Amino acid sequence: MSQLNPRQEEAKRHVNGALLVLAGAGSGKTSVITQKIAYLIDECQIPADRIVAMTFTNKASREMKERVKKLISGERVRGLTVSTFHQFGLQFLRYELKHTALKSNFSIMDADDSKRLLAELMVRDNLSGAERADTVAVAVKKISDWKNDLIAPEDVLETLDDPEDKVFAHLYGLYERNLRAYNAVDFDDLIVLPARILKENDQVRHKWQNRIRYLLVDEYQDTNTAQYELIKLLVGTSARFTVVGDDDQSIYAWRGAKPENMALLKKDFPNLTVIKLEQNYRSTNRILSSANAVIANNEHLFTKELWSDKGHGELVRVLTCMDEMAEAERVAKEILTHRIRHSNTWDQYAVLYRSNFQARVLETELRSLQIPYKLSGGTSFFARAEVKDVMSYLRLILNPDDDSAFLRIINTPKRGMGSATLEKLGLLAQQYGISLLSACSHAGLKTAIGTKASNTLHGFADFIEHYTRELYDNADPMPLVRQMMIETGYLDYIKEDSKNTQQEKNRLDNIESLYQSIGNLIERAEDDDERTIEAVIRKMMLLDMLEQQQEEQNTNKVNLMTLHAAKGLEFDYVYIMGVEEDILPHKNSIASNTIEEERRLMYVGITRARHELTLLFAQKRRMGKDFKQTTPSRFLDELPIDHIDYPAKGTAKKDPKQVANQYLANIQAMLAQKRKG
């Protein structure tokens, strides 16, 4: 969208003082942000390297940067920072390393590493529940929430409501001490540590406030406490910033997002200007009227009403199905016949649902009708065992204190290190306050674990040390990385460990993709500091490889995804399944009285549709061996009757002549399609 509407133009030109752009779904917020960046550089003469734009996903930051480059040519865009919050935090820690307890080769631990470390700490401290994944998951969530609320381990006890949480508070302190001993940070630290440094160090804070002449933040409604504090500390009293968000699309409270940060903005920046973007460029007015009517039942600090110049469009359909099998069959057959009648492509259709289990029956129906589909939310590239293994070798080379990486690879491939040997190695490391890798070269190793095992471990330590020297000294590290993995015997291990040739090929292909990605990052690096293997591996830990892969795959398939995963996307024809009490809204939200977020989720689902929207519910669903009667969702009662085709509610009917003409047109389209075939 090169031509901005009056409200968008106003948002673009507002540069003096704090600005909140309340951007409704499909209102062209990315255009506003990218054109505002161009305006700041072109018209306001702010150098690109003094402008920072932050968002939440790698995909969004890539798209934003590419669009800015189309507006601003050549050198004038050089130095512009468009990144995720976590990428910005990583860069900040690199610049301000001396103000942390970290060494320059620190590691970034992923979610699995954190879980494993917490489980080990629970065992080591004789805490109950270490063997149970749900207990460890609770510990991970509690600690992450405390960190994102900027509550330090020593202050947690004062905030506890539940006495049982004392165990997790104790665990939080142990976890933080071990992270520092490993010379590592977790994902939360990439926001929390910069926020703490800026808050506690006047000199650093003033330096960054002077350095950043203008700050822009996308998807502001998804910020947590630490992210909001980071924004506030970076802009200071000058308040030269624009945040863009929509409180009606805040659907991530479960991972710490706080829509109340909208209200905090008004409190902390009393002169805040609010500009509403209400013109929707995506959907018809019947779809938008439905979205407006549903979300109006939530309390609002700021109100808005979406509208479109795309006409009324089709009625929003509400379909009643006998059970989940009938629901899935109805969706699959409708997509098949609709596509043939209208000569559409498969990727114009999306089926959305509240929880992943709802897709199982639908997949069976789609396969039986030979309808190609893409199921979003598969295994992340970095969650694949072979990718984590290779990354762990590289992490250990870059950071010899990374005990988590050491434990993952010391027996991958097998080196005959049993749990008893590793336990003794761990005791030796604890006794002398050193890492597990350092313990492999310690003078007391042979006495602690015996000659054979000590020789193996000593050889492993020499191997890692050799490649550490080689990789740091080499301007082209990729051939060395490949050679290292061959020498470990890991590729042979993959061949032996795979169940069949196809699995072997897939795993080796994943490793090759990882190599290529590392090489691409080195080639694309903008300066020498970013071109090192150390900087690239850190960046790899933050990249969502799955996004990149999906973009490259054949996308002419029906899209299946959760409502959460659909945020930010749009499709011509949308089906939302399971619009029932206990599913949407979810039973946990009903029990905890957090219906407002579920209503925002419904709003997000409705506003994904461009042309047609269909909502479905089943009269009964299978619960184990039995069926359970269901209740239609309360959100269906909130829909505007004039825009809904909902026979159960005696709703609006189509003009018979219009129906007949449409039917005739459909038949002609089917015949034309058949002749083409």
Distance, CA of 4 to CA of 2 (rounded, Å): 6
Predicted local confidence at residue 262, as pLDDT: 84
Of the ranges 100-104, 141-145, 534-538, the best mean pLDDT one: 141-145
Predicted local confidence at residue 633, as pLDDT: 95
Task: Identify the three-state secondary structure at position 97.
Answer: helix
User: How much is the average pLDDT of 410-439?
Assistant: 86
How many Å is the maximal CA-CA distance in the chain? 93
- Whether the pLDDT of residue 611 is over 70: the answer is yes
Confidence of residue 664 (pLDDT cuts 50, 70, 90): low
Q: What is the percent of the chain where pLDDT is above 70? A: 91
* Structure tokens belonging to residue 611: 């042309």
The residue among 274 and 380 whose pLDDT is bigger is 274
Count CA atoms closer than 13 A to 308's CA, side-chain side: 26
477 preceded by a cis bond (ω within 30 of 0): no
Q: 504: buried, middle or exposed (CB in 10 Å: 19+, 13-18, 0-12)?
A: middle
* Structure tokens belonging to residue 74: 């050549």
Whether 108 contacts 184, CB under 8 Å:
yes
CA torsion 64-65-70-74 (nearest 10°) is 160
Confidence of residue 552 (pLDDT cuts 50, 70, 90): very low
* pLDDT 10s digits, 171-209: 999 999 888 888 889 999 999 999 999 999 999 999 999
- Whether the pLDDT of residue 651 is over 80: the answer is no
* Structure tokens belonging to residue 565: 């995963």
Predicted local confidence at residue 669, as pLDDT: 54
- Whether the pLDDT of residue 545 is over 50: the answer is no
Which of 134, 235, 143 lies closest to 189 in space, CA to CA? Answer: 143
Which of 542, 5, 600, 574 lies closest to 245 in space, CA to CA? Answer: 600
Distance, CA of 309 to CA of 285 (rounded, Å): 8
Give the global pTM: 0.79
Predicted local confidence at residue 208, as pLDDT: 96
* Structure tokens belonging to residue 298: 């939530």
Predicted local confidence at residue 399, as pLDDT: 87
User: How much is the average pLDDT of 489-506?
Assistant: 89
Q: Which of 20-34, 302-316, 413-427, 431-445 has the lowest mean pLDDT?
A: 413-427
Confidence of residue 377 (pLDDT cuts 50, 70, 90): low
The residue among 104 and 25 whose pLDDT is bigger is 25
Alpha helices in 212-306 (DSSP H): 225-235, 261-268, 285-295
Main-chain phi, psi angles of 481, to 5 degrees:
-60, -45
User: How much is the average pLDDT of 100-118?
Assistant: 85
* pLDDT 10s digits, 469-479: 888 777 788 88
- Whether the pLDDT of residue 258 is over 60: the answer is yes
Predicted local confidence at residue 13, as pLDDT: 95
Task: Identify the three-state secondary structure at position 306.
Answer: coil
Of the ranges 64-73, 599-608, 655-664, the best mean pLDDT one: 599-608
The residue among 431 and 474 whose pLDDT is bigger is 431
Distance, CA of 87 to CA of 543 (rounded, Å): 9
* pLDDT 10s digits, 212-254: 999 999 999 999 999 999 999 999 988 899 999 998 888 887 7
Question: How many other C-beta atoms can be found within 10 angstroms of the C-beta atom of residue 435?
Answer: 18
- Whether the pLDDT of residue 24 is over 70: the answer is yes
Alpha helices in 2-78 (DSSP H): 6-13, 29-42, 58-71
Q: What is the percent of the chain where pLDDT is above 90? A: 49
Whether 142 contacts 172, CB under 8 Å:
yes
Q: 151: buried, middle or exposed (CB in 10 Å: 19+, 13-18, 0-12)?
A: middle
User: How much is the average pLDDT of 440-459?
Assistant: 90
Alpha helices in 6-57 (DSSP H): 6-13, 29-42
Predicted local confidence at residue 619, as pLDDT: 93
Q: Which of 199-213, 246-260, 449-463, 560-574 has the lowest mean pLDDT?
A: 246-260
User: How much is the average pLDDT of 651-661?
Assistant: 51
Q: Enumerate the active-site residues.
A: 29-30, 218-219, 249, 608
- Whether the pLDDT of residue 647 is over 80: the answer is no
Which of 192, 183, 551, 574 lies closest to 350 in space, CA to CA? Answer: 574
Which of 328, 321, 247, 290 lies closest to 635 in space, CA to CA? Answer: 290
Residue 432, Cα to own-chain centre: how many angstroms? 40
The residue among 554 and 613 whose pLDDT is bigger is 613
- Whether the pLDDT of residue 440 is over 60: the answer is yes
Whether 208 contacts 240, CB under 8 Å:
no
* Structure tokens belonging to residue 497: 């460990």
User: How much is the average pLDDT of 607-631?
Assistant: 90
* Structure tokens belonging to residue 81: 């920072």
Predicted local confidence at residue 548, as pLDDT: 45
- pLDDT mean across residues, the chain: 86
Confidence of residue 675 (pLDDT cuts 50, 70, 90): low
Which of 206, 188, 177 lies closest to 144 in space, CA to CA? Answer: 188
The residue among 437 and 129 whose pLDDT is bigger is 437
Distance, CA of 474 to CA of 650 (rounded, Å): 74
Confidence of residue 147 (pLDDT cuts 50, 70, 90): very high
* Structure tokens belonging to residue 545: 């490889």
Which of 506, 511, 531 lies closest to 521 in space, CA to CA? Answer: 531
* pLDDT 10s digits, 78-92: 889 999 999 999 999
Distance, CA of 262 to CA of 250 (rounded, Å): 11
Confidence of residue 521 (pLDDT cuts 50, 70, 90): confident
Cα angle vertex 153, ends 150, 155, to 5°? 75
Question: How many other C-beta atoms can be found within 10 angstroms of the C-beta atom of residue 345?
Answer: 12
Q: What is the DSSP letter of 488?
A: H
Predicted local confidence at residue 599, as pLDDT: 95
Predicted local confidence at residue 483, as pLDDT: 92
Task: Identify the three-state secondary structure at position 408.
Answer: helix
User: How much is the average pLDDT of 346-368?
Assistant: 90
The residue among 452 and 253 whose pLDDT is bigger is 452
The percent of the chain in helix, strand and coil, each rounded to the nearest 5, is 60, 15, 30
Confidence of residue 546 (pLDDT cuts 50, 70, 90): very low
